[in-house]
Amino acid sequence: MSVPLSQHRTETAFSDHKLPLLHDEAVAEAHRCLFCHDAPCIAACPTAIDIPQFIRMISTGNTRHSARTIFESNILGASCARVCPVEVLCVGACVYNDLDQPPIQIGRLQRFSTDTAIDNDWQFFEAGADTGRHVGLIGGGPASLAAAHELRRHGHACTIYERDEVIGGLNVTGVAPYKLRADAALEEAEWILRIGGINVKTGVEVGRDLQLQELERTHDAVFVGVGLGEDSPLRVPGEDLEGVFGAVEWIKRMKLTTVDLSQVRRCVVVGGGNTAIDAARETRALGVPEVTLVYRGQRAGASGYAHELSAALEAGVQTKWQSVPTAFEGDDHEKPAPRVQRVRCVHLDIRKQPIAGSEFVMDADLVLIAIGQSRLGAMFTALDGMRVEDGRLLTDDDGFTGRRGWYAGGDCRNGGKEVVNAAAEGKRAAVAIDAFLNSAGSARRG
Ligand code: SF4
């Protein structure tokens, strides 16, 4: 189903930045919960996990029931426990914040229950009675995994088509390893697939190896969960030099293979979003002495989470606000290919226009460009009824695209949000697909 991960992945150098709670710590923290009526923490969770209920179960020693409560709402509850920005979701909404007391550590409690369940291979859900219907899912990330699991509970057969050699999407290839390592993400994916009846075809790129029309002809419904595409280029001279990477591509290499940073003294990361901040924290933690975040806006305008940025600064990451690279330079005589050595930059004014005479040069052996990723909606416009805006697939609230039998969820729909959003959208679309398949006239085409 999936290729084994290398034992020598660079990401194995990282350990958890939040240690898992021990049993007694979890029970003690659970006892602090006020089990609020109309709990604001539930409203803040995109998958609406019954948080007071699962915490109550921990407090009574019923970890199994606690884990089931979580997975009933979010089958990716284990990875979400580690990667969710809880500071701006459930924990940020906890009533303790208004009482000037530490909020309940909901993410760590969720991790306690879900890790226990997966470590013990507890299974909570069975596939429904076979309906004879078959759903194709494009992409093997969190949205498709959530959708496929829900579809199996309704008895529909599923095939996931994943272009990478490994399933799991960004959970495996893109999440900062101090939050979630690839092996843990892959273990979760394989645990989800244990419901059975989900055929996974890795190394298959829809549109290249399998045409959309063929996919439509051979399935009763299709879920699109392709996520986002390649790193967006900066489009300045020298971007093809050795040592200049898209940040998502570099993070993927670091998580799945060995990257050599022994000669890297100075790293420049371009961007102000969460990927840029992650890349900066990761290179710094891997021992690069000087890491500088270059962002075209002011600190307050950076799209990355404030708490993540603060953590990066505490780790020694430096910043150049209101600045942008204008060229990357190496030495042309270098063999076999010139490697980046310098980054030419210019300061920007408040309207993000270059300030004359403000040019400066930074030495750099590694440059990571994190200014966004391409959107993949255009590949579906050949199908009548599919609507795309700014590269995003447009759907209704249930993920219906406008073309009969086609649904979408996750980053390709929302433009790039959290794992928990992908999980919520995948599950919601699966419920809508089930209703579609059960409705009159949805018999298999062809
Ligand atoms: Fe417990 Fe905080 Fe949620 Fe209230 S808001 S139920 S105290 S976690």
Residue 275 and residue 198 share a domain: no
Residue 341 and residue 273 share a domain: yes
Residue 225 and residue 152 share a domain: yes
Residue 46 and residue 106 share a domain: yes
Q: Is the pLDDT of residue 2 over 60?
A: no
Query: Please, are residues 406 and 413 in contact by the beta-carbon 8 Å criterion?
Result: no
168 versus 4: the higher-pLDDT residue is 168
Q: Does residue 383 fall inside a structural domain?
A: yes
Q: Is the pLDDT of residue 66 over 60?
A: yes
pLDDT band at 445 (very low <50, low <70, confident <90, very high): very low
CATH number at residue 64: 1.10.1060.10
Its pTM stands at 0.93
Q: Does residue 10 fall inside a structural domain?
A: no
At 16 the pLDDT is: 87
Measure 102 CA to ligand 1 centroid, in angstroms: 11
Residue 61 and residue 25 share a domain: yes
Residue 182 and residue 138 share a domain: yes
Q: Does residue 234 fall inside a structural domain?
A: no
Q: Is the pLDDT of residue 440 over 60?
A: no
Domain with 179 in it: 134-229+374-445
Which class for 220: exposed (0-12), middle (13-18), buried (19 or more C-beta within 10 A)?
Answer: buried
Q: Does residue 413 fall inside a structural domain?
A: yes
At 178 the pLDDT is: 92
Residues 6+ positions from 205 with CB-CB distance below 8 Å: 161, 163
Instruction: Give the model confidence (pLDDT) of 249-303 as tens digits.
Output: 999 999 999 999 999 999 999 999 999 999 999 999 999 999 999 999 999 999 9
Residue in 42, 58, 59, 95 to alter for ligand 1 test, most ligand atoms within 8 A of Cβ = 95
Q: Is the pLDDT of residue 446 over 50?
A: no
Q: Does residue 238 fall inside a structural domain?
A: no
CATH number at residue 223: 3.50.50.60
Q: Please say which residue of 119, 152, 168 terminates a domain.
A: 119
pLDDT cut 70: percent of the chain above it: 96
Query: Please, are residues 109 and 55 in contact by the beta-carbon 8 Å criterion?
Result: yes
Residue 323 and residue 262 share a domain: yes
Q: Does residue 11 fall inside a structural domain?
A: no
Residue in 34, 97, 98, 101 to alter for ligand 1 test, most ligand atoms within 8 A of Cβ = 34
Q: Please say which residue of 369, 394, 420 terminates a domain.
A: 369
Average pLDDT of span 124-139: 97
Q: Is the pLDDT of residue 63 over 80?
A: yes
Residue 338 and residue 396 share a domain: no
Average pLDDT of span 138-147: 98
Residue 383 and residue 358 share a domain: no
Strands 392-394 and 387-389 turn out to be: antiparallel
pLDDT band at 331 (very low <50, low <70, confident <90, very high): confident
Q: Please say which residue of 350, 369, 388 terminates a domain.
A: 369
Q: How far apart are CA 391 and CA 398, in angstroms?
A: 19
Count of structural domains, the chain:
3
At 4 the pLDDT is: 80
Residue in 45, 49, 51, 55 to alter for ligand 1 test, most ligand atoms within 8 A of Cβ = 51
Both tokens of 185, joined, read: 């993400």
Smallest CA-to-CA distance from 53 within 71, 65, 43 is with 65
Residue 356 and residue 269 share a domain: yes
pLDDT band at 336 (very low <50, low <70, confident <90, very high): low
CA atoms in the 13 A half-sphere facing the CB of 269 = 29
Average pLDDT of span 206-233: 95
Q: Does residue 336 fall inside a structural domain?
A: yes
Instruction: Give the model confidence (pLDDT) of 79-126 as tens digits.
Output: 999 999 999 999 999 999 999 999 999 999 999 999 999 999 999 999
Measure 104 CA to ligand 1 centroid, in angstroms: 7
Query: Please, are residues 399 and 432 in contact by the beta-carbon 8 Å criterion?
Result: yes
Residues 6+ positions from 142 with CB-CB distance below 8 Å: 76, 79, 168, 169, 170, 171, 225, 410, 419, 422, 423, 426
pLDDT band at 17 (very low <50, low <70, confident <90, very high): confident
Residue 57 and residue 38 share a domain: yes
pLDDT band at 334 (very low <50, low <70, confident <90, very high): low
Residues with CB under 6 A from ligand 1: 33-36, 39-41, 51-52, 55, 94-96, 104, 106
Nearest-atom number in ligand 1 for the CA of 42 is 3
Measure 103 CA to ligand 1 centroid, in angstroms: 8
Residue 175 and residue 88 share a domain: no
Helix 23-32, helix 51-59: angle, nearest 10: 130
Smallest CA-to-CA distance from 54 within 84, 77, 87 is with 77
Q: How far apart are CA 327 and CA 329, in angstroms?
A: 6
Measure 52 CA to ligand 1 centroid, in angstroms: 6
